[in-house]
Chains A and B, each alone.
Chain A
């Protein structure tokens, strides 16, 4: 296990996903056998961690549930400590199709972006969701676009590719509760280059998403407060000075 062969890694946060996680890992490895996979089991009560290990992933077991931001950041820290140059992030519920990875990777590999985000609304099809959720996503996209002075369409996508610069930033500092939206704003404030790419996402294979209607409202309120307060935060230093 030499350092040279370990160049890139997929971070898969998973909370009670024993039925989906195996397939996600297999598909990631099918995409590229040289791609390492680290599964962060976020205090799962089922066999998520065991299944992930059986399928050949590195497994980090959080002692209790930290929520998506804390879990993803654990993955970033793992990748950072182990010297990976390139990171992809992919949800553990099978929603992100690893065969779409090359699209998300392209701008980062070409050196055109520090972070690339797979967007459901930037042209791809195949995503259905409730009206309230779509309105919420649209609203957030408008707000983030205004703050970022750059058009973004999908602020809640966890399907991302990051280079080492972006990895260093997020390993050191990552929003906890609902990290994708704030993460986008952070990215731009740190003057990292963000690029959206259209992707198609799938329906969940098993189980239900953890987001309910009431929680969506709570989510919106929290994110709006975070974004608003974030505007008044003192200007953050570019990542190279961290």
Chain B
């Protein structure tokens, strides 16, 4: 295989950036600004990127499997993009559920108000 390897500098920079991502996510969870269930995907994203960035042999091998010749770090972009799409899709489902719950809350609230008013009028 004639694929050129991952340059050391690229590997170091990518590893550093991914580590920062993992640390930021970790800190957000620690300070309770991010719930664990929503943070899982982000942590996974960060960890996968850390591993792929630091482990140059691995990245080169995976690039070979995928038929990426010439520039193995392109795989990092692809993996990063894939995870971003997953995270966004996950958010869409979360928002959908929230808006469904919001509808139920509004309906219950309005029905309770009506019940209270109608009780008050009768007594």
A239 sits at the interface (CB 8 A): no
Question: Are the CB atoms of A59 and B114 closer together than 8 Å?
Answer: yes
Question: Are the CB atoms of B122 and A1 closer together than 8 Å?
Answer: yes
Report how far A1 CA is from B119 CA in the complex, Å: 11
* CB within 8 Å: A-B pair count: 36
Size bracket, chain B contacts:
10 to 19
A41-72 contacts to B (CB < 8 Å): 58-64, 66, 70
Size bracket, chain A contacts:
10 to 19
Mask, B98-121, CB within 8 Å of A = 1, is 001001001101110110001000
Q: Chain A at the B interface: mostly helix, strand, loop or mixed?
A: mixed
Question: Are the CB atoms of A66 and B106 closer together than 8 Å?
Answer: yes
A78 sits at the interface (CB 8 A): yes
A74 sits at the interface (CB 8 A): yes
A81 sits at the interface (CB 8 A): yes
Given contacts A59-B114, A60-B114, A78-B114, contact A70 B122 (CB under 8 A): no
A77 sits at the interface (CB 8 A): yes
Question: Are the CB atoms of A64 and B106 closer together than 8 Å?
Answer: yes
By a beta-carbon cutoff of 8 Å, the part of chain A in contact with chain B is 1, 40, 58-64, 66, 70, 73-74, 77-78, 81, 176
> What would be 8 A-B contacts, judged by CB atoms less than 8 Å apart?
A60-B110, A60-B113, A66-B106, A66-B107, A70-B103, A70-B107, A73-B107, A78-B111
